[in-house]
């Protein structure tokens, strides 16, 4: 690889830039060792049946660049900055060796819940997808009730609506779902304004349920607005959409709210970056959404980064960054037209850094 150009990563939006520079490889070097894969999902998740990702190899290990296809290049640039940090930069030192992880239940029929949870080893917390298009509140309630049955009375359940509800729909749905016992509701409404109104409405209805912000953090021009306007009780942070581990740490510190680290439907390589973020947070009171390798039917590493006894370790995460299997890269290589699409997207996005 040719010499890297020392350059500061440019982060879109009004949030301050990183204080430390990042080694940005030359574009030809990135393209020379870029592998585009298409991984089948076990169950359709956020509209995705096949997860496409680009694996990049840096001097510190493999990195992943996989912004969702509908995202603009400006959004994808943050994902690329995160990948460069993981493969070429220096990561903060961990303050804990293990990170608690939640299981994830997609918007499946209640009869499939037990099978989904069976792929997770002793996770004490479960995130349940709700508000799926074409489904009803009754479907959501049946799914959450079945999770409670399988998990037991002491388990923690959180629901995620991905911003699909209006304020009135969220108030009604959460008033019903809260009866099963919820840890919190993640992004029940799409906008910061709606979240503020919803929190007040739930309080007036005597529904004691914390609200977590996800899309209002990772896709926002101003990710700190949620905290300033009192729109949430927790923040959900993801390494790739926020521009890297260090950038995410800064946002959590400035927000001053409890944080939950989650993945972005990553391969084990991407999840490893999330583990390093969770391990570096000064405080971590909630299990993290980093068990999503279970949603993939296959991975790019021989031993996917799955929780053991409900936890992931930084040791396994660091190993995953260096353990990409060439045979799996070849087996799941994306079709030629998709490789061209991703390489062209990488070139456009690189120009924004």
pLDDT (tens digit per residue) in 302-326: 999 999 999 999 999 999 888 999 9
% of the chain with per-residue pLDDT over 90: 89
The answer to the question of whether 233 is labelled as a binding residue is no
The answer to the question of whether 33 is labelled as a binding residue is no
Q: What is the pLDDT of residues 280-294, one digit of tens each?
A: 999 999 999 999 999
Where does the chain have alpha helices with state H?
Answer: 27-32, 73-88, 113-117, 137-151, 167-177, 192-204, 215-218, 225-228, 239-242, 245-255, 268-280, 314-320, 326-331, 336-350
Angle, CA of 79, 80 and 83, to the nearest 5°: 90
All residues at 6 or more sequence positions from 27 whose CB lies less than 8 Å from its CB, including other chains = 346, 347, 350
Q: What is the pLDDT of residue 22?
A: 54
Q: Are 252 and 237 in contact (CB under 8 A)?
A: yes
- Give domain status of residue 178, yes or no: yes
Q: What is the pLDDT of residues 168-220, one digit of tens each?
A: 999 999 999 999 999 999 999 999 999 999 999 999 999 999 999 999 998 88
Q: CA 58, CA 113: separation in Å to the nearest integer?
A: 39
Q: Domain check: are 170 and 212 in the same one?
A: yes
Q: Domain check: are 181 and 50 in the same one?
A: no
- Give domain status of residue 14, yes or no: no
Q: What residues does 7 pair with on adjacent strands?
A: 22
Residues that are catalytic: 129, 238
Does the pLDDT of residue 137 top 90, yes or no? yes
Q: What is the pLDDT of residues 11-58, one digit of tens each?
A: 333 333 433 335 799 999 999 999 999 999 998 887 899 999 999 999
* Short-list 13, 29, 8, CA closest to 241: 13
Q: Domain check: are 227 and 290 in the same one?
A: yes
Q: What is the pLDDT of residue 17?
A: 40
- Give domain status of residue 12, yes or no: no
Q: CA 283, CA 14: separation in Å to the nearest integer?
A: 25
Does the pLDDT of residue 237 top 90, yes or no? yes
Can you tell me the mean pLDDT for 242-269? 96
Residue with tokens 């021989």: 302
Q: CA 118, CA 249: separation in Å to the nearest integer?
A: 33
Residue ranges making up the domain that contains 194: 98-320
Does the pLDDT of residue 298 top 90, yes or no? yes
All residues at 6 or more sequence positions from 124 whose CB lies less than 8 Å from its CB, including other chains = 100, 151, 154, 155, 156, 287, 310
Query: Residue 258 belongs to a domain with what CATH number?
Result: 3.20.20.120
Q: Domain check: are 217 and 341 in the same one?
A: no
Whole-number average pLDDT of the chain: 92
Q: What is the pLDDT of residue 7?
A: 27
The answer to the question of whether 214 is labelled as a binding residue is yes
Query: Residue 81 belongs to a domain with what CATH number?
Result: 3.30.390.10
Which CA distances in Å does 143 have to 41, 67, 122, 253? 20, 29, 19, 35
Can you tell me the mean pLDDT for 151-167? 97
Can you tell me the mean pLDDT for 105-111? 96
């Amino acid at each position: 690889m040719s010499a890297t150009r020392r350059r500061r990563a440019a982060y879109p939006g009004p949030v301050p830039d990183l204080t430390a520079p990042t080694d940005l490889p030359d574009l030809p070097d990135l393209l020379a060792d870029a592998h585009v894969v298409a991984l089948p999902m076990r169950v359709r998740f956020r509209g995705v049946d096949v997860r496409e990702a680009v694996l990049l190899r840096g001097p510190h290990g493999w990195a992943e660049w996989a912004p969702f296809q509908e995202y603009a290049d400006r959004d994808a640039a943050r994902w690329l900055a995160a990948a460069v940090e993981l493969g070429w930069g220096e990561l903060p030192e961990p303050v804990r060796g293990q990170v608690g992880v939640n299981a994830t239940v997609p918007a499946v029929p209640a009869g499939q819940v037990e099978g989904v949870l069976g792929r997770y080893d002793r996770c004490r917390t479960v995130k349940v997808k709700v508000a799926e298009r074409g489904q009803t509140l009754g479907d959501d309630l049946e799914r959450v009730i079945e999770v409670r049955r399988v998990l037991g009375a002491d388990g923690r359940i959180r629901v995620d609506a991905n911003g699909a509800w209006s304020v009135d729909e969220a108030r009604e749905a959460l008033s019903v779902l809260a009866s099963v016992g919820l840890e919190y509701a993640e992004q029940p409404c799409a906008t910061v304004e709606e979240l503020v109104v919803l929190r007040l409405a739930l309080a007036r209805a005597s529904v004691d349920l914390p609200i977590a912000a996800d899309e209002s953090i990772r896709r926002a021009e101003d990710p700190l607005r949620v905290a300033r306007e009192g729109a949430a009780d927790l923040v959900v942070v993801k390494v790739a959409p926020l521009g890297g581990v260090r950038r995410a740490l800064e946002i959590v510190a400035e927000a001053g709210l409890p944080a939950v680290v989650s993945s972005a439907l990553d391969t084990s390589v991407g999840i490893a970056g999330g583990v390093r973020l969770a391990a570096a947070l000064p405080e971590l009171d909630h299990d993290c959404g980093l068990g999503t390798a279970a949603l993939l039917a296959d991975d790019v590493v021989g031993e996917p980064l799955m929780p053991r006894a409900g936890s992931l370790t930084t040791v396994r995460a660091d190993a995953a960054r260096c353990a990409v299997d060439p045979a799996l890269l070849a087996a799941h290589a994306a079709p030629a037209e998709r490789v061209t699409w991703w390489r062209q997207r990488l070139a456009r996005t690189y120009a924004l850094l």
